[in-house]
């Protein structure tokens, strides 16, 4: 964790309550922030989270949202003379070291977009989580007019290859509804952008199963 003892520029318009310190929290990944047993909020990368807290001694815990086994914990005493000031904190999650595999030495990259499946692989993460991903899919889809008029509906099951940049590189449809609905499902899924999968801290390609529903509202 990086902490600055110097005052940081005020980050919002509300005055700092008497006897409190304002923290401007950022992170190198999406994480939940706890001071003691109280959760103060979720930090979305470099988008700041502001909150006010009394000076004192705290156990600070930061929990990585996309891999909740990854936790950073620190004891920190916030000086009394910080009251009335704003300070910058940043959560940093240190990647695990590379490990030897049974078939050879570790590498620092996975070639191209070859999907890999090992126990230590962290799945691709859509910013905002799966609910945000499905909200995007529903918002962006355009129901084909002919299928809507005919009452055609159903689920398109898609396997999307998420490449090492987090983009959808390939799409394979495993179930079908109609030619037009299938095409629309593929079009919208290709718009998705993820934080890519990682193995031992390095981006890797990953095949992801995405069910995409096309139903007509009553």
Q: Cα separation of 161 and 34, whole Å?
A: 35
The reported pLDDT for the residue numbered 137 is: 94
What is the arithmetic mean of pLDDT over 155-162? 91
Report helix, strand or coil for 28: coil
Q: How far is CA 16 from CA 19, 107, 116, in A?
A: 8, 49, 49
> Mean pLDDT for the chain?
80
Q: 159 has which bridge partners?
A: 172, 209
What is the arithmetic mean of pLDDT over 21-37? 89
Secondary structure letter of residue 78 according to DSSP: E
Secondary structure letter of residue 125 according to DSSP: B
The model's confidence at residue 182, banded by pLDDT at 50, 70 and 90, is very high
> Percent of the chain at pLDDT above 90?
38
- Domains in the chain, ordered, with CATH? 2-91 (2.60.40), 121-214 (3.30.2420)
Residue with tokens 């890999």: 116
What is the arithmetic mean of pLDDT over 134-146? 93
């Amino acid at each position: 964790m990086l902490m600055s003892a110097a005052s940081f520029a005020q980050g919002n318009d509300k005055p700092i309550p008497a006897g409190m310190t304002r923290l401007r929290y950022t992170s190198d990944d999406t994480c939940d922030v706890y001071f003691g047993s109280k959760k103060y909020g979720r930090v979305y990368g470099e988008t700041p989270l502001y909150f006010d807290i009394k000076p004192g001694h705290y156990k600070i815990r930061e929990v990585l949202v996309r891999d909740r086994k990854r936790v950073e914990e620190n004891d920190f005493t916030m000086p009394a003379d910080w009251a009335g000031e704003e300070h910058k904190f940043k959560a940093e999650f240190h990647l695990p070291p590379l490990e030897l595999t049974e078939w050879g030495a570790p590498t620092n990259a996975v070639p191209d977009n070859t999907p890999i499946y090992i126990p230590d692989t962290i799945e691709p993460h859509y910013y905002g989580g799966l609910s945000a991903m499905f909200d995007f899919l529903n918002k962006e889809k355009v129901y084909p007019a002919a299928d809507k008029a005919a009452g055609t509906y159903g689920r398109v099951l898609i396997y999307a290859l998420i490449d090492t940049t987090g983009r959808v590189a390939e799409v394979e449809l495993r179930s079908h509804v109609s030619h037009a609905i299938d095409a629309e499902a593929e079009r919208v899924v290709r718009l998705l952008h993820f934080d890519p999968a990682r193995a031992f801290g390095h981006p890797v390609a990953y095949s992801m199963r995405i069910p995409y529903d096309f139903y007509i509202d009553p």
